[in-house]
Structure 1
Amino acid sequence: MTLLERTYAFAAAAPQEFAFAHATAARLLGIPLPYALDEDPHIHIVTRTDANRIRRGEVMGHRGLESRGVVEVHGLPVVGPADTWADLGEYVGAGLPVGLDDLIVAGDAAANLLGEVAPLKRAVEARVRPRGKVTLTFALPRVRLGAWSPMETRSRLMVTRAGLPEPRHNRPVVSHTGEWLGFGDLVWEEQRVVGEYMGVEFHTRSRDKVHDGLRRDRVERGDWAVVEIVSADVFEHEARAAKLREIAGCLGVNAHVLDVIAAAPQFFAPAQFARPRRRRS
């Protein structure tokens, strides 16, 4: 059965007020998750704190429905994007499946659904000692609107951590004469540079390559530099270093100032970001 079929079946026989939550809510909302959670066999629900716990083998129950916003998705009650993002903090930590970059990717997607980042901040602040608070709090100022895929987010994190200017996501690319040339995944408007993430799903077939080549020619004729980014450029050290040098050259930045080590994917928030614990007297 698909996730949607399983959630419909549960909802049809649910004995009390509930909403789908955590990883299940994220999947129903279209918020990207790491593979380990995307394959989670459980259906996660949240009920009121004072309600009886629902006990079924395939169901993972949580409490606190009264403090969470709920939306309707496919006719089902689902914890809203902001609270679902805050709930993902429960999966953060050593030995757990969600890391810092996963949270930022999910935060970008949740912010897009909401049209702003502020609700994510309010959701975290409304919790009393939420799990994963350090990582959630560190991730928040790094969440942006506009990314259309997880790898666009990860590409942005790579270039900014290296010390390059931050690009904007999916901005219009226009020639000097005002001709609209399309949208760019990562756009440095002042420097007239476009970064394009070339994912396997949409950019490997022969017809895709022909379309990509024509689009690149059109953008370059409009006096923009185009830099193509692939998965290895983000996840592999040597490829990442070479790609960052290429982007730096297009942006007019001295490649010697790049911090290639800091540009690597990050799973944990920096240790120094956590507040020091008070010593017991």
Structure 2
Amino acid sequence: MFVLRGLSTPEWPYTPRLHVSAHRPAREPRTRGVVGHRLQTREPAIEAGPEGIPIENAVRAWRQCGRLWPLDDLVAGADALLAGRQPLASAADLDAEITLMGDVRGGILRRALNLARPGVRSPRETRLRLVLVRHGLPEPNVNIDIFSTRGDFVAEIDLAYELWRVAVEYDGRVHAEDPRQFARDADRWAAIRDAGWDHVRVLSHHLRGDGSAAVDLVRAALLRAGWRPGQ
């Protein structure tokens, strides 16, 4: 479901496989290349996906991934469902599904839901937010609009520490080979700084390993702005 909808799934070294489920009393498929699952006796909630392919309801699919995915990927999956102007689910929907059908793996779904936030635009933003908090930094707000001193809109910030005016963004550099987009980005970065914000750009290599390089960049900006550990 997540792949067909273009939503986040676990990154390498997780190996995606084709999972097909059947509702009891039907038997799960058993064929090469397919992982079969036999679901509880329950009224199906199949939806039409791309090209009319039948796919599982988004909320149910997220819960089913609870038996397979690591915690952070479940958080990113929940973030993806909660995102956008027309989200595929609400936090209440996910909570109701857990309550109705039960949690798995020691309560991993409830933990993931508690860490999920609406408005997140990418799984790397999710990972960055989780890494910062786990290393003892305050939790930033998600996708905050900032304005100039005249009240003009400047930018929407991925992760914002409004009290200290520190803007943190994950920069995947998908436009690195586009000079015009790079120029627009550079003008935007300057506008953020002109609005009185310290702008921290986190690149992919900063998130390698335990993400400590990204944490160091953000911690330094917060310290410059007057934050102190324990606040």
Q: TM-score, normalised by structure 2?
A: 0.83
Match of 1:114 among 77, 88, 103: 88
Three-state SS of the structure 2 residue aligned to 1:107 is helix
Gaps of 5+ in 1: 1-24, 92-97, 259-281
Write 1 or 2 for the structure with the bigger share of helix: 1
Q: Distance in 2 between matches of 1:219 and 1:36?
A: 33
Q: Which one scores higher on RCO, CA 8 angstroms, separation ≥ 6?
A: 1
Identity of aligned residues (%): 27
Structure 1 position 33 matched with structure 2 position 9: yes
Task: Please state how far the C-alpha of 1:184 moved relative to its aligned partner.
Answer: 1.0
Q: Could you report, residue by residue, the CA deviation over 1:40-91 in whole angstroms, capped at 9, with x for unpaired residues?
A: 343x222221124433323332222735533221222211221111111111
Contact 2:66 2:109 in 1 (8 A): yes
Match of 1:160 among 117, 133, 137: 133
Q: Distance in 2 between matches of 1:229 and 1:204?
A: 18
Three-state SS of the structure 1 residue aligned to 2:121 is coil
Three-state SS of the structure 1 residue aligned to 2:149 is coil
Equivalent residue number for residue 10 of structure 1: none
Equivalent residue number for residue 99 of structure 2: 125
Q: Distance in 1 between matches of 2:146 and 2:76?
A: 24
Contact 1:124 1:133 in 2 (8 A): no
Q: CA RMSD in A?
A: 2.6
Q: Distance in 2 between matches of 1:116 and 1:250?
A: 37
Q: Could you report, residue by residue, the CA deviation over 1:239-270 in whole angstroms, capped at 9, with x for unpaired residues?
A: 2452132232255212x559xxxxxxxxxxxx
Match of 1:239 among 199, 202, 213: 213
Three-state SS of the structure 2 residue aligned to 1:90 is coil
Change over 3 Å in CA distance of 1:250–1:61 after alignment to 2 = same
Change over 3 Å in CA distance of 1:189–1:69 after alignment to 2 = farther
Gaps of 5+ in 2: none
Give the alignment of 1:2-41 within 5 angstroms: 25-35=1-11, 39-41=15-17
Equivalent residue number for residue 90 of structure 1: 67
Structure 1 position 76 matched with structure 2 position 47: no
Task: Please state how far the C-alpha of 1:133 moved relative to its aligned partner.
Answer: 4.6
Equivalent residue number for residue 154 of structure 2: 181
Q: Distance in 1 between matches of 2:58 and 2:122?
A: 16
Change over 3 Å in CA distance of 1:242–1:60 after alignment to 2 = closer
Divergent runs of 4+, >6 A: none
Instruction: Name which one, 1 or 2, has greater alpha-carbon Rg.
Output: 1
Q: How many residues align?
A: 225
Q: Could you report, residue by residue, the CA deviation over 1:14-56 in whole angstroms, capped at 9, with x for unpaired residues?
A: xxxxxxxxxxx121122311235875343x2222211244333
